[in-house]
Amino acid sequence: MNNLVYSLTVNGHVHEVRDAWVGESLLSVLRDRIGAYGTKGACEQGECGSCSVLVDGELVCSCLVLAASVTGSSITTIEGLSPDGELTDVQRAFIDAGAVQCGFCTPGLIVAVHDLLDENPAPSPLEVREALSGNLCRCTGYGRIFAAVEAVIAERNGTVSEEADA
């Protein structure tokens, strides 16, 4: 069936999707129909996390979600985390820590970090590793990514040491 018409609410805007196939993934619709190119497609099997978005506040791999099944939901992509174009503190920390190399994994990681810190403002290093275990990065070795997350946690919780701040 290729003649579905439905609406998706993405980053607060309603998008009409026409002539859609019922089996189209949310990832595919976000990128190919709505132009939300920040959401990356890589494994398309729910293994790498590069397509991570929030659906009604829940972190999902958009490659595993049928777009037509989330017509009544609020979808947030990486673009929706900073609608005014200002970098979020997580994005800034990734840059400052050198946690971006090719950048392919970065949008999914940023969405996942925001989700983690919204739910747990002060996660332990182990909890950070566990929360991000579904986001694969082939470039960085993860050390700088974890350093970026720790910097955000310290800044948000007011525990930045003077030495680290200097």
Q: In this complex, which beta carbon is closest to ligand FES, that of residue 20 or of residue 116?
A: 116
Size of the site for ligand FES (CB under 6 A): 10
Q: Does 148 bind ligand FES (CB under 6 A)?
A: no
Q: Which residues ranging from 82 to 111 are in contact with ligand FES (CB under 6 A)?
A: 100-105
Longest CA span, the chain: 61
CA dist., res. 116 & res. 121, Å (int): 8
Q: In this complex, which beta carbon is closest to ligand FES, that of residue 54 or of residue 100?
A: 100
Which tokens sit at 138?
């082939």
Which tokens sit at 137?
């990065």
Q: Does 139 bind ligand FES (CB under 6 A)?
A: yes
Q: In this complex, which beta carbon is closest to ligand FES, that of residue 10 or of residue 100?
A: 100
Which amino acid, residue 120?
Answer: N
SS (H, E, C) 47-87: CCCCCEEEECCEEEEHHHCEHHHHCCCEEECHHHHCCCCCC
How far apart are CB 59 and ligand FES at their closest, in Å? 18
Q: Does 13 bind ligand FES (CB under 6 A)?
A: no
How far apart are CB 128 and ligand FES at their closest, in Å? 16
CA dist., res. 161 & res. 166, Å (int): 9
Under the rule (CB under 6 A), what is the footprint of ligand FES? 100-105, 137-140
